[in-house]
Amino acid sequence: MTARWTPAPGPSLDAYRAVVGDRTIEELYRLAERLRGKRVQHLNATRQGGGVAEILNRLVPLMRELGIDATWDVIRGEDDFFRVTKSFHNAIQGDPIELGAADYEVYVKWNRVNAQELDLHGDFVVIHDPQPCAMIAEHKRSNAQRFVWRCHIDASRPHRGVWRFLEKYLRRYHASLFSAPQFAQQLPIPQYLVAPAIDPLSDKNRPLTNEQVVSILERHGIDPERPILTQVSRFDRFKDPLGVIQTYQMVKETNDCQLVLAGGGASDDPEGAQVLAEVQEMAGDDPDLHILLLPNDAHLEINALQRASTIVLQKSLREGFGLTVSEGLWKGKPVVGGATGGIPLQILDGVNGYLVNSPEGAAFRIRYLLNHPEIASEMGRRGVEQVRQNFLLIRNLRDYLLIMLATESAARTITL
Amino acid sequence: VDDFKIRLLTKGKRLPFFEVGEPFVFKKVIYLVEVTGHRARTLDELLRALAVVPADSVGYHMHREFLAYKFAPLEYPNDFAYWTARVLGDEILGEKLANLRVFRHRSLDGLRLEISRLVAEHLLAYPEAAKELAPTGRDFHFLLARSVVMDCNRVASTIDELTDALAEIESSSLYFHLFETRFSGGQGRENDFAEWLRLALGKEELAAKVANIDPYMFSLEQARRTLLNTLFSAKAAQS
């Protein structure tokens, strides 16, 4: 059966005042006044693993604290459904994947099953990513309901066939949300920009003591005294883990360093095991190359690994947004990332890290930073501020409130 | 039309924005950014898109960067100047677009025409400029804002109260009163502080000084200091 997922309450809004300031929190309460009691129903395909689940885990309780009746439902499917939706995911990110009529039928069938099992009752229904996108076709909505499709992936160059298929469902929504302007497509519905965000108080991002960090490094056999390069991501081709190993091997020729590739799997990603095997094969028996397959709830470990890093990497070839960039920046680290998707929104080239387009480019920037620790340190300082201003959970929550207000009103300027 | 006293033209005559003796109510704005779907990779495409995008999109690209946190002073004061100079590498046009006197225009449509004229004349003078193509992923995306305007719970009835509030008010409020309301109702006007000093308090001379502050020359924090200095100087001169 589909599942209503109730996240643990976590820190209250008041706890965020120390991070973002009183005015920002008061602003949320003001925005939420008009939305008090409204039902907001989030739907996605996984409750663990990946950035979407992480965001919803915090967003839903905080919305509830603001007096909004927020819920989160997770759709279900069998392997055939997740195989097809993974292909959809890759195709939207530009992979030339050919899907047959049977694949589309599997997709529609499982959307129908979920639509029958789930009551789409929300005043605002927020459907995340392509997996549950077609459920809207099976639902007889009331005029008062507002349906919003949230695209978390890089749709800048989608596979035309898959996009045309999805588009017929997207037309039924009241609005769509994209992480960056280049991801938006020609659609007959409003397209808003909403950058995702990290939670500064979660286990993944809260401050840790040096002892906690060192203890976690020792557990994985990582030397805290030598430079550490870290990429945290799923074992997914678009994250280019093989390119990261290539980069590390080039850097290693001139600079002593260790590489940590840390990632988990998501229940909607059947391809991960295959990519992991390729990564392990390429890594060979290099004792300085640490491949860590972590459980989905290893947030403290990820936090410690990022804090222990000299440089954080996110060398993606395609990226929805790449929240691990903001995570790295928030820990005061310079981040070297692929110039793709939402990464250039987070890395200001030469200000808080570097944007790169190849393993060679990444290797050059990493070597430069390893030779100029004072510049790396200054970049890290700027990175913290960049995230504080733009990519914290509270801003994301505010954007959702704005979208709810905007989809309810025809006026371009809304006065509260 | 929102309730923030947007006064439309009535029989060709503009109604006053503030009544005599009316207090100044500080407001602030939050943007929800919308993609128009129009994008440009070349100057030619920019020119064609300029003809069809909503005028509000032009206004948004003229000053949205001032609302964002900055690590260094803005190199170019508007998105059009930045994109042509830094993405297309056309620094001559970038300079022309940077030097636009935005608030001399009576309306956003007038501003749009001026930008279009500059681009068109540049293309005539430098035909090779039309060949410059933005790198992949660096197209000019025309965006638009849905604005949510909120009260800051701060009111001023005198110059002293205005000064006190200006020193403390959040920067998004400064942005609102210096940029956001300038084309309210489709018509160009002075910044809110100048209008209030003139219309509500009858301080013509001080209003003229405040009106003369060009917000495109400052960050919001610098604009705050400049406004405060202007008000302090006026007070010192009076006493």
Taking CB atoms and an 8 Å limit, are B71 and A348 in contact across chains?
A: yes
- The mean pLDDT of A336-356, rounded to a whole number, is 93
Taking CB atoms and an 8 Å limit, are A386 and B69 in contact across chains?
A: yes
* Residues A346 and A329 sit within 8 Å (Cβ to Cβ): yes
pTM of the predicted model, to two decimals? 0.87
Give the separation between CA A114 and CA A3, rounded to whole angstroms: 10
Query: Would the pLDDT of A267 be above 60?
Result: no
Give the separation between CA A180 and CA A344, rounded to whole angstroms: 10
With residue B142 as reference, give the H or E element that holds it: strand B140-156
DSSP-derived secondary structure letter, A68: -
Residue to test with chain A: of B2, B8, B27, B32, most A Cβ within 10 A? B32
Give the separation between CA A46 and CA A53, rounded to whole angstroms: 7
Phi, psi of A17 (to 5 degrees): -60, -40
**Residue B184 Cα distances to B9, B64, B180, angstroms:** 11, 16, 8
**Residue A2 Cα distances to A46, A72, A117, angstroms:** 11, 11, 7
Q: Which residue of B has its CA nearest to A22?
A: B170
* Residues B123 and B47 sit within 8 Å (Cβ to Cβ): yes
Name the maximum alpha-carbon separation found in chain A. 64
Q: In the block, which residue shows the tokens 């850097």?
A: A251
Q: What is the pLDDT of residues A97-118, one digit of tens each?
A: 888 999 999 999 999 999 999 9
Chain length of chain A: 416
Interchain CB contact of B167 with A (< 8 Å): no
Interchain CB contact of B68 with A (< 8 Å): yes
* Tokens, residue B233: 């100087």
Alpha helices (H) along A266-392: 272-283, 299-308, 323-330, 343-346, 359-371, 373-390
The rounded percent of chain A whose pLDDT value lies above 90 is 78
DSSP-derived secondary structure letter, A258: E
* Residues A303 and A279 sit within 8 Å (Cβ to Cβ): no
* Tokens, residue B109: 């449509």
Give the separation between CA A22 and CA A133, rounded to whole angstroms: 37
Task: Give the residue from A340, A396, A16 showing the smallest Cα distance to A205.
Answer: A16
Give the separation between CA A231 and CA A229, rounded to whole angstroms: 7
Instruction: State the pairing for strand pair A311-314/A191-193.
Output: unpaired
Q: What is the pLDDT of residues B203-222, one digit of tens each?
A: 999 999 999 999 999 999 99
Give the separation between CA A371 and CA A375, rounded to whole angstroms: 9
Q: What is the pLDDT at residue A138? A: 86
Q: What is the pLDDT at residue B12? A: 42
DSSP-derived secondary structure letter, A201: T
**Residue B114 Cα distances to B38, B50, B84, B121, B156, angstroms:** 19, 11, 16, 10, 37
Q: What is the pLDDT at residue B2? A: 42
Cβ contacts (< 8 Å) between B34 and chain A: which residues? 190-193
Q: What is the pLDDT of residues A136-174, one digit of tens each?
A: 998 887 888 999 999 998 888 899 999 999 999 999 999
Q: Which residue of B has its CA nearest to A21?
A: B170
Q: What is the pLDDT at residue B186? A: 60
* Residues B96 and B123 sit within 8 Å (Cβ to Cβ): no
Find all residues with CB under 8 Å of A212, minimum gap 6, and list them: A300, A304
Task: Give the residue from A240, A266, A243, A244 showing the smallest Cα distance to A341.
Answer: A240
A54 or B201, which is more confident: B201
Q: Which amino acid, residue B84?
A: T
* Tokens, residue B207: 């209003």
Query: Would the pLDDT of A194 be above 50?
Result: yes
* Residues A84 and A106 sit within 8 Å (Cβ to Cβ): yes
* Tokens, residue A85: 């939706």
Task: Go through A38-68 and write b for each residue having 16 or more CB atoms within 10 A of its CB, e for each that does not.
Answer: bebbbbbbbbbbbbbbbbbbbbbbbbbbbeb
Cβ contacts (< 8 Å) between B143 and chain A: which residues? 181, 193
**Residue B7 Cα distances to B14, B45, B111, angstroms:** 7, 35, 20
Mean pLDDT computed over every residue of chain B? 89
Give the separation between CA B55 and CA B35, rounded to whole angstroms: 14
- The mean pLDDT of A324-353, rounded to a whole number, is 95
Q: What is the pLDDT at residue A320? A: 78
How close is the nearest chain A Cα to the Cα of B176, in Å?
A: 12
Query: Would the pLDDT of A1 be above 80?
Result: no
Instruction: State the pairing for strand pair A69-74/A146-150.
Output: unpaired
Task: Give the residue from A262, A151, A148 showing the smallest Cα distance to A196.
Answer: A151
Most confident of A211-220, A341-350, B69-78: A211-220
Taking CB atoms and an 8 Å limit, are A412 and B35 in contact across chains?
A: no
Query: Would the pLDDT of B3 be above 60?
Result: no
Total CB pairs under 8 A between chain A and B = 87
Interchain CB contact of B141 with A (< 8 Å): yes
Give the separation between CA A317 and CA A329, rounded to whole angstroms: 20
Interchain CB contact of A25 with B (< 8 Å): no
Q: What is the pLDDT of residues B76-126, one digit of tens each?
A: 999 999 999 999 999 999 999 999 988 888 889 999 999 999 999 999 999
In this prediction, residue A48 has a pLDDT band, given cuts at 50, 70 and 90, of confident
Taking CB atoms and an 8 Å limit, are A192 and B33 in contact across chains?
A: yes
**Residue A141 Cα distances to A121, A137, A407, A409, angstroms:** 9, 10, 15, 18
Query: Would the pLDDT of A36 be above 50?
Result: yes
The rounded percent of chain A whose pLDDT value lies above 70 is 98
Alpha helices (H) along B131-219: 159-168, 171-175, 192-199, 204-211
Phi, psi of A337 (to 5 degrees): -135, 155
In this prediction, residue B7 has a pLDDT band, given cuts at 50, 70 and 90, of very low
Query: Would the pLDDT of B138 be above 60?
Result: yes
Query: Would the pLDDT of A269 be above 70?
Result: no
